[in-house]
């Protein structure tokens, strides 16, 4: 059984979750060849070395003074590793390799921060709900753990773009046989979708998950499965990338300026006739039954070509967690905790599987592959729920992105930790970011 929520657990469980999260991110950096830590696989992001320091710098900046009294041992590195970069339409970073500390110094900083934090946490009392100040230890530790695990996923996107010969490939099992999916749509009757978390509950949630609200959703139909590579290939072959009518003005401008003509996870063979999936460790002949991973702009263009649209966040939530009996489920499949039979998540694999590979994860209405195997784009612009209050210890986490330029994605990918498999968790990206493990399924308001 996976640990899906450690919010109200005992201190030992939280400390062990922090140790597990550290092991997860350490293992991720192990796939980078030792001569490649100063590479920048995504032009808009920091070099890899930043993220090694950032994970500890974040924990230290978060906990220092709020939970633990810590010495000012490396204030320059605490500042250097404080923040990442969001790539919305701005200029690219111009720093040089030589601007960064040596790997030895960064690794020493990581060791020192961990030692100081662990020593301080070990001296704390048993009650992690109380803590010593304005915020409970349990809240701050959940923030540290989930921040690290979010980076475990976004770092995987980044390392995906690192050339194959700069990575240490693990020994991998051969890909399973294809599981064909017959594309169908499911009719969802009108009814409510419940979004967010109640503030008086004791489950952990980020600031944007509050407060809970109910939304009335008219009847609609939704794809049973995520859109596959095979389906998307039909759009590509139909000239979808060259047909202006399927793209918004901003999306067309972006596509033209960047000469985008296919998903970033696809590449052609030498003769250009055959498509390959750009896997984490090597190319794979394009698996027709895997979900396609594309930007919001490309997903939207496909949906228009297909005569459909992307779901709103409320439609997606209703299809995922609603049921014909009117109850809302904890997970799409019911209340049983997540395990590998329900979906491709919690670092189960480096790549997707067939969209039809986990029928045991189907929702009450019969939508399959809701959690895992790739996030799903929605048409909803990321904005606060009524009653939103930012986390004062991390004011930019959500509020910096309430700018009308980011769209909500829902679900999970193969590299999403189990703790994020809660209905209220929201993720968001700008519409032209192609590197997320995100695909989509379509909806239609025209019922049969
Ligand atoms: Fe971060």
Tens of pLDDT, residue by residue over 41-53, are 998 889 999 999 9
pLDDT of residue 378: 98
pLDDT of residue 432: 96
More confident: 396 or 176: 396
Q: Would the pLDDT of 368 be above 90?
A: yes
Average pLDDT over residues 13-39: 96
CB 293 within 8 A of CB 374: yes
Measured in Å, residue 444 CA sits from the centre of ligand 1 at: 37
Signed CA dihedral, 429, 430, 432, 433: sign only: negative
Q: Would the pLDDT of 85 be above 60?
A: yes
Helix (H) or strand (E) holding 62: helix 48-63
Measured in Å, residue 62 CA sits from the centre of ligand 1 at: 11
261, 263, 269, 272 alpha-carbon torsion, rounded to 10°: -20
Q: How many Cβ atoms are within 10 Å of 286's Cβ, its own excluded?
A: 21
User: E-strand spans in 249-405?
Assistant: 266-268, 275-278, 283-285, 375-381
Q: Would the pLDDT of 240 be above 70?
A: yes
Those residues whose C-beta lies under 8 Å from the C-beta of residue 201, and which sit 6 or more positions away, are none
Measured in Å, residue 147 CA sits from the centre of ligand 1 at: 6
Give the Cα separation of 404 and 392 in Å (integer): 22
Q: Cα separations (Å) of 330 from 337, 354, 358, 434?
A: 9, 24, 18, 30
Q: Would the pLDDT of 12 be above 90?
A: no
Signed CA dihedral, 179, 182, 187, 193: sign only: positive
Q: What is the DSSP string of 372-402?
A: SSSEEEEEEEP-PPTT----TTSTHHHHTT-
Measured in Å, residue 12 CA sits from the centre of ligand 1 at: 24
For residue range 260-285, what is the model confidence (pLDDT) as tens digits? 999 999 999 777 679 999 999 999 99
Residue 119 class from Cβ within 10 Å (0-12 exposed, 13-18 middle, 19+ buried)? exposed
Residue from 140, 90, 114 nearest 391 by CA: 140
Measured in Å, residue 81 CA sits from the centre of ligand 1 at: 9
Those residues whose C-beta lies under 8 Å from the C-beta of residue 302, and which sit 6 or more positions away, are 227, 232, 235, 240, 246, 294, 440, 442
Average pLDDT over residues 384-408: 95
Give the Cα separation of 258 and 311 in Å (integer): 27
What percent of the chain lies above the pLDDT cut of 70? 94
pLDDT of residue 1: 32
Average pLDDT over residues 418-442: 97
CB 437 within 8 A of CB 157: yes
Q: Would the pLDDT of 3 be above 50?
A: no
pLDDT of residue 2: 39
Q: Would the pLDDT of 37 be above 80?
A: yes
pLDDT of residue 203: 87
For residue range 120-173, what is the model confidence (pLDDT) as tens digits? 998 886 656 555 577 888 899 999 999 999 999 999 999 999 999 999 988 777
Q: Cα separations (Å) of 40 from 27, 85, 125, 287?
A: 19, 12, 42, 28
Measured in Å, residue 82 CA sits from the centre of ligand 1 at: 8
Helix (H, G, I), strand (E, B) or coil at 184: coil
Helix (H, G, I), strand (E, B) or coil at 407: strand
Give the Cα separation of 137 and 424 in Å (integer): 22
Give the Cα separation of 284 and 175 in Å (integer): 10
Residue from 119, 72, 151, 199 nearest 347 by CA: 151
Measured in Å, residue 216 CA sits from the centre of ligand 1 at: 35
Measured in Å, residue 83 CA sits from the centre of ligand 1 at: 6
Q: How many Cβ atoms are within 10 Å of 66's Cβ, its own excluded?
A: 17
pLDDT of residue 446: 77
pLDDT of residue 6: 47
Average pLDDT over residues 56-77: 91
- Surrounding residues of ion ligand 1, Cβ less than 5 A: 84
The two tokens of residue 151 are 């980076």
Those residues whose C-beta lies under 8 Å from the C-beta of residue 120, and which sit 6 or more positions away, are 63, 67, 68, 69, 70
Give the Cα separation of 222 and 185 in Å (integer): 5
CB 412 within 8 A of CB 372: yes
Those residues whose C-beta lies under 8 Å from the C-beta of residue 253, and which sit 6 or more positions away, are none
Q: Which residues of 395-425 are buried (b: 16+ CB within 10 A; e: fewer)?
A: eeebeebbeebbbbbbbbbbbbbbbbbbbbb
The two tokens of residue 115 are 């030692």
Measured in Å, residue 57 CA sits from the centre of ligand 1 at: 9
Give the Cα separation of 32 and 26 in Å (integer): 11
CB 369 within 8 A of CB 342: no
CB 357 within 8 A of CB 291: no
> pTM of this prediction?
0.94
Measured in Å, residue 156 CA sits from the centre of ligand 1 at: 14
Q: Work out the mean pLDDT of the chain and round it to a whole number.
A: 92
């Amino acid at each position: 059984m996976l640990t899906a929520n450690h919010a109200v657990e005992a201190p030992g469980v939280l400390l062990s979750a922090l140790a597990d999260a550290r092991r997860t991110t350490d293992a991720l950096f192990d796939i980078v060849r030792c001569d490649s830590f100063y590479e920048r696989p995504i032009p808009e992001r920091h070099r890899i070395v930043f993220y090694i320091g950032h994970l500890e710098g974040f924990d230290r900046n978060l906990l220092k003074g709020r939970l633990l009294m810590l010495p000012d041992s490396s204030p320059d590195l605490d500042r250097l590793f404080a923040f990442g970069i969001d790539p919305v339409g701005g200029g690219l970073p111009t720093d040089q390799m030589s601007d960064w500390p040596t790997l030895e110094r960064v690794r020493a900083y990581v060791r020192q921060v961990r030692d100081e934090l662990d020593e301080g946490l070990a001296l704390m009392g048993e009650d992690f709900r109380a803590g010593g100040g304005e915020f409970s230890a349990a809240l701050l530790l959940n923030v540290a753990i989930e921040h690290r695990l979010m980076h475990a996923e976004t770092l995987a996107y980044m390392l995906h773009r690192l050339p194959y010969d700069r990575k240490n490939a693990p020994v991998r099992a051969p890909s399973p046989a294809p599981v064909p999916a017959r594309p169908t749509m499911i009719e969802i009757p009108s009814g409510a979708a419940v979004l967010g978390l109640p503030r008086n509950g004791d489950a952990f949630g980020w600031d944007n998950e509050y407060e809970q609200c109910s939304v009335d959703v008219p009847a609609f139909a939704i794809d049973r499965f995520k859109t596959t590579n095979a389906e998307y290939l039909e759009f590509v072959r139909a000239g979808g990338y060259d047909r202006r009518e399927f793209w918004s003005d901003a999306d067309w401008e972006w596509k033209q300026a960047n000469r985008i003509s296919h998903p970033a996870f696809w590449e052609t063979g030498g003769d250009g006739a055959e498509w390959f999936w750009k896997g984490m460790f090597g190319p794979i002949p394009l698996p027709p039954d895997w979900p396609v991973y594309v930007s919001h702009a490309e997903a939207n263009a496909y949906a228009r070509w297909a005569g459909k649209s992307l779901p709103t966040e409320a439609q997606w939530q209703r299809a995922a967690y609603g049921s014909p009996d009117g109850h809302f489920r904890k997970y799409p499949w019911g209340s049983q905790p997540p395990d590998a039979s329900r979906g491709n998540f919690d670092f189960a694999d480096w790549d997707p599987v067939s969209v039809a590979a986990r029928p045991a994860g189907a929702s009450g209405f019969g939508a399959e592959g809701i959690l895992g195997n790739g996030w799903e784009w929605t048409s909803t612009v990321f904005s606060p729920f009524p009653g939103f209050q930012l986390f004062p210890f991390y004011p930019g986490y959500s509020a910096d992105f309430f700018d009308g330029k980011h769209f909500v994605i829902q679900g999970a990918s193969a590299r999403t930790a189990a703790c994020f498999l809660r209905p209220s968790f929201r993720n968001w990206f700008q519409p032209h970011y192609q590197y997320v493990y995100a695909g989509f399924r379509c909806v239609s308001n025209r019922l049969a």
